[in-house]
Amino acid sequence: MSATIAERVLGGDIRAASRLMRDIDDGRASAIPELQALFPKTGRAYVIGITGSPGAGKSTLTDRLIAHFRMAGKKVGVLAVDPTSPFSGGAILGDRIRMQEHATDDEVFIRSLATRGNLGGLSRATGDCVRVMDAMGMDVIIVETVGVGQDEIDIAQMAHSTAVVVVPGMGDDIQAIKAGILEIADVFVVNKSDRDGADRMVRELRAMLELRHAIKAPPMDHDAHHRMVVAKAHGTHQPDGDAAPEEWEPPILKVIASSDVGVEELVKAFGAHFDWLNASGERSTREMTRARMQFVAILRERLLRSALKRLEAERGRLDEVSARIARGEADPYALADELAGKLGG
Amino acid sequence: MSATIAERVLGGDIRAASRLMRDIDDGRASAIPELQALFPKTGRAYVIGITGSPGAGKSTLTDRLIAHFRMAGKKVGVLAVDPTSPFSGGAILGDRIRMQEHATDDEVFIRSLATRGNLGGLSRATGDCVRVMDAMGMDVIIVETVGVGQDEIDIAQMAHSTAVVVVPGMGDDIQAIKAGILEIADVFVVNKSDRDGADRMVRELRAMLELRHAIKAPPMDHDAHHRMVVAKAHGTHQPDGDAAPEEWEPPILKVIASSDVGVEELVKAFGAHFDWLNASGERSTREMTRARMQFVAILRERLLRSALKRLEAERGRLDEVSARIARGEADPYALADELAGKLGG
């Protein structure tokens, strides 16, 4: 009897994993039993999120991170999520081609996700694909997302550690870093930091973090705090038991990914953050958040598919119903209520 | 007997509209009957989407557009959607304060939306708030969105005409304009076009549009096409009956919003696009798309709320269920299936 897809994925079979991830991306129901079989075998991988505006150099940075993690003997999975291409499908080719320098390395597995359509399946597909890479035995999984929308924030929340990548001179600098991004960043990367304005950007980020800190927590000794942060960023910080670090202050790292400047420091910052996650108990909080996001994403898409199926059976195709709504002949609120009412809600 | 909220909104009551939009943003069920009462009275407004990366100068541009539309005697509604602030709530204050120069103008109505949480209510809330502004009698509604995620693309698709705002020197220029953004842009605005690299950006955008055109359509006379586009952008293009313009080629406009350079041309480009929408029949296609997006958004959120209510009644709070999933004690796929199964899906 031949092995199931799930068994082959657990054995590290690249072809089986690729096929399963394609089915996940396409939203095929056949992927679900395989995911259910993989589910108990997951939870080992360290998941890193890399996010930031288009053009911030995330792909180059991811490429460098792969090389660093490979040198440390880690198996690396990369999931490049590109929600900006709902129609044309996928990221600009160059990004992906560049990463293909690792294509002949068996311990590196790179896939792009470009879930399209309006069923909102992106977070669900991302969570599921992370799970597949986890089950394959990847030690580190890098989830690279373009953009700063709600979906990207959701996806960032699926990671243990998230780096927000910014570039000097992108728009109005400080304006470019919105509050939500501050909240999801565990590490700030000021990439292309040989450009004019890098130091100003670092200062402005620091000022925003301090402002946030002042709002969130009672005033504290800033220098001591800063020393702790620096120690953490350099991997030299050790939680000392009697005073476990309660709050993580995101380090701000100057990086030039294209020439590998500052990337080792970034890897160390991730390591320090992961140690902090474990020491502070934050790891289980994040894993619960991740489980919640994934579950809600699975549920949302599943419900919508069922409801639309029912709608189409009873009221005609979604496009026809939409045309009636557009002409004012059907009430979208009443229709939604009617369909949801059958759920007993 | 006192007037309902809906009646007051139809009468242009700012306070009633503000209250209803706050209820919409909060996802209150009480907003639904009011929206249902408004529904038949909507469909008049011209909806413009303004999107682009953070720091592209969208707020300043919106501000200028308000002034231009006001000079033309139009009532203007502005909905600033900021999904990047799910935790801290709302855009950086400066943006909004700047727009308050119109705050004393009765014919200008500006509101921010910052729907947070993981119920995915952003598109739904945006669609509903556009409807409220439409019902209030706004002639033009500008929906300003930050970012380039799936949500923003969904929101852009709710507009009749969408301007994508880019800035020279943001990252790797051409890389910054992903394929999905090309598809949603009816007009490209190269803002801050006094900066280095503006002409290069215009050339690169044009090259990408031509590439897309070459892929989508059989080769055609580029110069004739270009002349038509220019004529449209200047509002001088008239569909000539025997050769209705079948395809809209997005004009690329150099703008300096902060000093009002090129904004009049942008207003004309919107006008030309709106004429084209009507002449080509594309308007009803877009309104159907908008209705579909809105309906799916309403339905998705309604279903999720019902399912979570049921889950919490039967299995405990979402956080507890999520913790069990995180510990591998509960299977998210089976739970979603069970809840959706009750819908008959």
From first to last of the 345 residues of chain A, give the pLDDT tens digit: 578 999 999 998 989 999 999 888 888 889 999 999 999 889 899 999 998 877 788 889 999 999 999 999 999 999 988 655 433 333 434 445 545 566 666 788 888 886 554 455 777 888 899 999 999 999 999 998 876 566 667 777 789 999 999 888 754 445 545 556 677 889 999 999 999 889 988 998 888 888 776 665 544 444 444 444 444 445 444 544 444 457 899 999 999 999 999 999 999 999 999 999 999 999 999 999 889 888 988 888 888 888 888 888 888 889 899 999 998 889 999 999 888 876 554
CB contact under 8 A, A303 and B305: no
**Tally of structural domains, chain A:** 2
Task: State the residue range of the domain holding A295.
Answer: 283-345
Instruction: State the nearest Cα–Cα gap between B302 and chain A, in angstroms.
Output: 7
Final residue belonging to a domain, choices B246, B262, B285: B285
What local confidence, expressed as pLDDT, does residue B231 receive?
47
Report whether B165 contacts B42 (CB < 8 A).
no
> B239 is written with which tokens?
């569909």
My answer on whether B11 and B126 are in the same domain is: yes
Enter the tokens of residue A7: 């068994």
pLDDT at A130: 94
Task: Verify whether the Cβ–Cβ distance B326 to A147 is below 8 Å.
Answer: no
Residues B208, B313 within the same domain: no
Alpha helical stretches, state H, chain A: 5-10, 14-25, 31-38, 58-71, 93-99, 122-135, 150-156, 179-184, 198-216, 222-233, 263-280, 282-315, 318-326, 332-341
Chain A residue with minimum CA distance to B81: A149
Any domain includes A2: no
Asked if residue A20 is part of any domain, the answer here is no
What distance in Å separates the CA atoms of residue A229 and residue A222, rounded to the nearest whole number? Answer: 10
A166, two tokens: 């910014």
Q: Is residue A225 part of a domain?
A: yes
pLDDT for position B272: 97
B230 and B161 together in one domain: yes
Q: Do B173 and A304 touch (CB under 8 A)?
A: no
* CATH code for position B266: 3.40.50.300
Task: Count Cβ atoms below 10 Å from residue A146 Cβ, excluding itself.
Answer: 28
Within 8 A of B175 by CB-CB distance, chain A residues are 54-55, 92, 94-95
Asked if residue A97 and residue A221 are part of one domain, the reply reads yes
B280 and B315 fall within a common domain: no
Show Cβ contacts of residue A20 under 8 Å, excluding neighbours closer than 6 positions.
A5, A6, A9, A31, A34, A35, A132
Query: Same domain, yes or no, for B226 and B328?
Result: no
* Residue B262 located in a structural domain: yes
In a domain, A64, yes or no: yes
**Residue A335 belongs to a domain:** yes
CB-based contact A87 B305, cutoff 8 Å = no
Last residue of a domain, one of A242, A259, A282: A282
Q: So what's the pLDDT on residue B115? A: 59
CB atoms A182 and B88 under 8 Å: yes
Nearest to B149 among A151, A292, A333 (CB): A151
Q: B204 and B330 share a domain? A: no
A110 and A79 in a common domain: yes
Please state, in angstroms and as integers, the Cα–Cα distance from residue A123 to each residue in A116, A300, A302, A309, B302, following that order: 12, 10, 13, 21, 19
Six token digits for residue B128: 């509903």
- DSSP annotation of A147 reads B
Contacts of B88 in chain A (CB under 8 A): 179-180, 182-183
Rama region for B316: left / alpha / beta (φ>0; ψ in -120 to 50; rest): left
Contact between chains at B177 and A302 (C-beta distance less than 8 A)? no
Same domain as A62, residue A203? yes
Same domain, A319 and A276: no
DSSP character at residue B148: -
> Does residue B46 form part of some domain?
yes
A197-221: string of b/e by CB count within 10 Å (b at 16+)?
Answer: bbeebbebbeebbeebbeeeeeeee
* pLDDT tens digits for range A58-94: 889 999 999 999 999 999 999 988 655 433 333 434 4
- The answer to whether residue B294 sits within a structural domain is no
Low-confidence residues of chain B, pLDDT below 70? 1, 82-105, 114-120, 147-152, 170-181, 213-245, 342-345
Query: What is residue A112's predicted lDDT score, i.e. its pLDDT?
Result: 81
User: For residue A317, what pLDDT is reported?
Assistant: 87
Same structural domain, B191 and B101: yes
- The distance of A65 to chain B (nearest Cα, Å) reads 20
Domain C-terminal end among A227, A257, A282: A282
Residues 6+ apart with CB under 8 A from A162: A48, A49, A50, A51, A156, A184, A185, A186, A187
One domain, residues B188 and B257: yes
